[in-house]
Amino acid sequence: MSAGRRRALITGLTGQDGSFLAELLLADGYEVTGLVHAEAIDAATGEADLGLAGHLRDRVTIIPGDLLAPDSLREAVRAAAPDELFHLAAPTFVPDSWRHPARTAAAIVVATAALLETVRDDSPGTRVLVATSGDMFGDAPESPQREETPCRPRSPYASAKLAAHELVGQLRGRDGIFACSAILYNHESERRPENFVTRKITRGAAAIKLGRARELTLGDTSAVRDWSFAGDIMRGCRLILAHERPRDYVLASGVGHTVSDFVDAAFAHVGLDPAQYVRTDPALVRAPERTLRVGDPTRARTELGWEPMVTFEELVARMVQADLDALRQPV
């Protein structure tokens, strides 16, 4: 591996998680390379659309790649020769996995297998973190869920994440590579895309406060999620790869909140009563979940010393404030 500065390769650099992770790595003196879809690179200028990592353009190296093209992933690993590989890229909008289950499986399972195989065969000294998901527990028999909790996934996305998680353990056990699964629960920030309910809520509260909207329409506000700040979760991912031995870890707050709690916190930040503005659309209400989606981060806390630094209330306030500031900008 590298003799000087440590090298990291991030798949998913342009998203919420990748941008926070890149900032952390750069602050510690890493050479950071990000995998970017070839279609995001201008053929004439060679300049890439870095999405949420655009502010890091002059500090990172870009390699083209495609989750649906395993050979491009293999070439990226060989070219970057990373000390640490953070595989964050994946389809993230769960409803889309029902419409495109084959594409979802290929982008998550096949891509993970290609990266792990390449590290095993060509770069055995590379430490690998694969971002999996608390969604894979599904109708688990217990809540909160631990690393050993049996998984009963409820969507094609969750099934694919479970398969990726199992691949990590299988290649680690058989081939001895340093590979870890980071089992991530819901994590948010002001960088979360607006198609997610959390940003829909914070954007809606900000817009109503500024007189740009009259109401916010949501589905079932009784659904429970375990929300953390994305920056805290990425800090946990770094600690996982810095540990002396490879293991899988749940990264979560350990506390469940309802969507209604999120709404209340968002509207409290702008000094409004949500009961006057929030409406429920029955068409958006999903079937109730049998098991509360809450993670148990005990292993990460005891073995890694990881603790979330941003509280639930601080997270929501941070998101609402960012939306207020953005909406106040001239069009």
pLDDT at residue 97, as a whole number = 85
- Let me know whether 46 and 73 are in one domain: yes
- Let me know whether 128 and 269 are in one domain: no
- Let me know whether 176 and 37 are in one domain: yes
What is the CATH number for 283? 3.90.25.10
pLDDT digit string, tens, across residues 165-190: 999 999 999 999 999 999 999 999 99
Note whether residue 303 is domain-resident: no
pLDDT band at 264 (very low <50, low <70, confident <90, very high): very high
Backbone phi, then psi, for 218, in 5-degree steps? -130, 175
pLDDT higher than 80, residue 285: no
What is the CATH number for 33? 3.40.50.720
263: Cα separation from own chain's centroid:
22
Q: What is the pTM of this model?
A: 0.95
Q: Taking residues 149-156, what's their average pLDDT?
A: 96
Note whether residue 105 is domain-resident: yes
Higher per-residue pLDDT: 2 or 185: 185
pLDDT at residue 3, as a whole number = 54
Backbone phi, then psi, for 299, in 5-degree steps? -60, -45
Higher per-residue pLDDT: 75 or 43: 75
- Let me know whether 202 and 178 are in one domain: no
Per the structure, the complete domain to which residue 220 belongs is given by 197-225+256-293+310-328
92's tokens: 């993230």
Share of the chain above pLDDT 70, in %: 98
Q: Taking residues 109-134, what's their average pLDDT?
A: 98
- Let me know whether 182 and 69 are in one domain: yes
pLDDT at residue 39, as a whole number = 85
pLDDT at residue 93, as a whole number = 67
Instruction: Report which of 1, 25, 15 is spatially closest to residue 195, judged by C-alpha positions.
Output: 15
Strands 257-258 and 224-225: antiparallel
- Let me know whether 16 and 125 are in one domain: yes
- Pairwise CA distance, residues 292 & 178, whole Å: 32
pLDDT higher than 50, residue 1: no
Note whether residue 289 is domain-resident: yes
Q: Across the chain, what does the average pLDDT equal?
A: 95
DSSP state of 10: E
Backbone phi, then psi, for 286, in 5-degree steps? -90, 165
- Let me know whether 145 and 207 are in one domain: no
Note whether residue 179 is domain-resident: yes
pLDDT digit string, tens, across residues 58-96: 999 999 999 999 999 999 999 999 999 999 999 876 778
- Let me know whether 171 and 273 are in one domain: no
DSSP state of 108: I
pLDDT band at 331 (very low <50, low <70, confident <90, very high): low
Note whether residue 299 is domain-resident: no
pLDDT at residue 292, as a whole number = 95
- Let me know whether 74 and 110 are in one domain: yes
Domain total in the chain: 2
Share of the chain above pLDDT 90, in %: 88
- Let me know whether 144 and 116 are in one domain: yes
The end-to-end CA distance of the chain, in Å, is 48
